[in-house]
Chains A and B, each alone.
Chain A
Amino acid sequence: MRKKIIPYLLVSPYIVHFIIFVAFPVGFSIYLTFNNWNIISPMEFTGLNNYKRLFQDAVFWKSIFNTLIFLAIHIPLQIIVALFLAELLNQKINFRGFFRAAFFLPVIVSGVVVTILWQQLYGFDTGLINRLLVKIGFEKIGWLTNPNWAMPSIAVMATWKNVGLYIVLFLVGLQTVPPQYYEAAELEGATHMQKFLKITLPMINPTIFMVVVLSTVGGFSLFIEPYVMTGGGPLNSTISAVLYIYKQGFFYYHMGYAATLGLFFAMLILTVVMIQKKFVEKDK
């Protein structure tokens, strides 16, 4: 008898925690979407009003659009840079450990540090990047003040911060390619480019998909970068979905509406990730 309950005792803290902090919140969040509530006064049942509001909320759709813009720049840039640097690191070189550690440094540092730092680098008059541009004869660019540039600027910064992790993942992937393949290709007289396109790329396809999924989920969580750098501006051009949910919930205390946005956005993320996973399975 004692033997039988031991496993349940061991998993019970997890089950209790799951019920309180996952299962209940998910259920409660669905219930909240049908109500208006500012936490203090009593809840007010409003039916589907929150959903109607969501579909007409231009700022929310803007925030989704911004997130997609972010992903459209961030993911390809990340894969190209990571693959390129991983390929370099995979050659016979000295100081590999140093280079790898250097590329990885931004990954471990808090996003707050990176954001404060890049805010200065992107500064209009005194920012390092604009000063360099002026020096080589270009015009200054309003990296964070021009609505067309602000989101791409954040995407480039996010790539700088995360790419080290993907370099390491690609490096692991590259090392699984059997060297005989390259040797055989060399005997046939294949060029560098041919070897890369015909052998490397197909072999590390699973890693590429993993990177796509990881950075998609990461991109959908975008919050601290626009919060610190731009506050979502200029003209809402950098407001991200999480930042908008945060504002609705913790600035205006629209708990019901914020929960509706959260639920809808979570479903969107799950759908996108599921579609991506389908692609991976089909590929296999």
Chain B
Amino acid sequence: MKKTFLYIFLTAGAVIFLYPFIWMISASLASENEIGGLIFLPSDFTFNSYVQMFNKIPIGKAFVNSMIVSSCVTFGVLVFGSMVGYALSRLEFKGRDLIFYIIIFTMTLPFQITLIPQYILIVRFGWVDSYAGLIVPYLMNALAIIMFRQYFKSIPQDLIDAARIDGCGELRIIFGILWPNSIPVLVTVGIITFMTSWNEVLWPLIVIRNENLMTMPQLVTLFAVGGRAESQLGVKLAAATILALPIVTAYLFFQKYFIQSMASSGMKE
């Protein structure tokens, strides 16, 4: 009896969280005049909305842009994050504590304060409408450094000493010895960074004006608010569906890692 109630509530919850997505996909496949009355499945499937959307905006190009930007940002955050995390956790040097406090400070600093001056920097560097403008400011991430530092602390010193005796330099130790032993933290930082970068909209809206360089969420946002969807609901929903597709697909395969990664990043703050 008690169990029944439990399942009723859980199922109701699942419906509330999943149904809007199902409706979105259905609506994107329905004809324009059916959407207004659509409850579940359309009477007739059509790819018309998708065809129109592909004709109106360079969504394929935007997908490639997003892939390039998010991959570069993720790669940079992993490489630089582990270098700094290693130095902070395993090496002794003057100013180490100061650097650690700086990192903690940047984590608490609200982005609203740096938004305007960072844009001015990008203008001065000539990076408006360039990948560099989207990538370089995000190459370092305080949370990633902290997570690497934490994880590297737990790796036995013997492993590092043995590598030193074999003549490994510090970079070889980080990328040849520590990385293969740090898969969980690499996955966690990788997923959070990639996802945050992929879903970022405000910064691209500021830095990119050329349609061929826009990221996917930016292009879809401007499409939805800019009037080019000509208030056709189906076309907007098709754009939203295409935008959700890559991350949702990744989520279906690595669902457990997504949840664990996001939860552990929340815990750290």
Binding site for B on A (CB under 8 A): 4, 6-8, 10-11, 13-15, 17-18, 20-22, 24-26, 28-29, 32, 39, 84-85, 88-89, 91, 93, 98-113, 116-121, 125-126, 128, 131, 160, 164-165, 168-169, 172, 210, 213-214, 217, 220-221, 223-224, 227-228, 231, 241-242, 245-246, 249-250, 255, 258-259, 262-263, 265-266, 269-270, 273
Complex Cα–Cα for A95 and B35 (A) = 33
Residues of the A chain whose Cβ atoms lie less than 8 Å from the Cβ of B18: 102, 105
User: Does B251 interact with chain A (Cβ within 8 Å)?
Assistant: yes
What DSSP secondary structure best describes chain B's contact surface?
Answer: helix
Residues of the A chain whose Cβ atoms lie less than 8 Å from the Cβ of B24: 113, 117, 120
Instruction: Tell me whether A112 and B240 are in contact (CB under 8 A).
Output: yes
Complex Cα–Cα for A210 and B267 (A) = 8
Chain B: CB-nearest residue to A116: B240
Task: From A10, A111, A120, A164, give the contact of B199 (CB < 8 A).
Answer: A111
Which of the 9-residue segments B42-50, B108-116, B150-158 touches chain A? B108-116
Instruction: Tell me whether A21 and B269 are in contact (CB under 8 A).
Output: no
A91 to chain B, nearest CB (A): 6
| Top 10 closest pairs, chain A to chain B, by CB | A126-B36, A25-B117, A266-B113, A7-B93, A266-B110, A10-B87, A25-B114, A116-B240, A7-B91, A102-B14
With A117-B237, A125-B36, A128-B23 already in contact, the answer to whether A110 and B170 are too (CB < 8 A) is no
Extra inter-chain contacts (4) besides given A110-B243, A116-B220, A246-B205, CB under 8 Å: A18-B106, A108-B247, A108-B248, A266-B110
Residues of the A chain whose Cβ atoms lie less than 8 Å from the Cβ of B199: 110-112
Residues of the B chain whose Cβ atoms lie less than 8 Å from the Cβ of A89: 10
B66 to chain A, nearest CB (A): 10
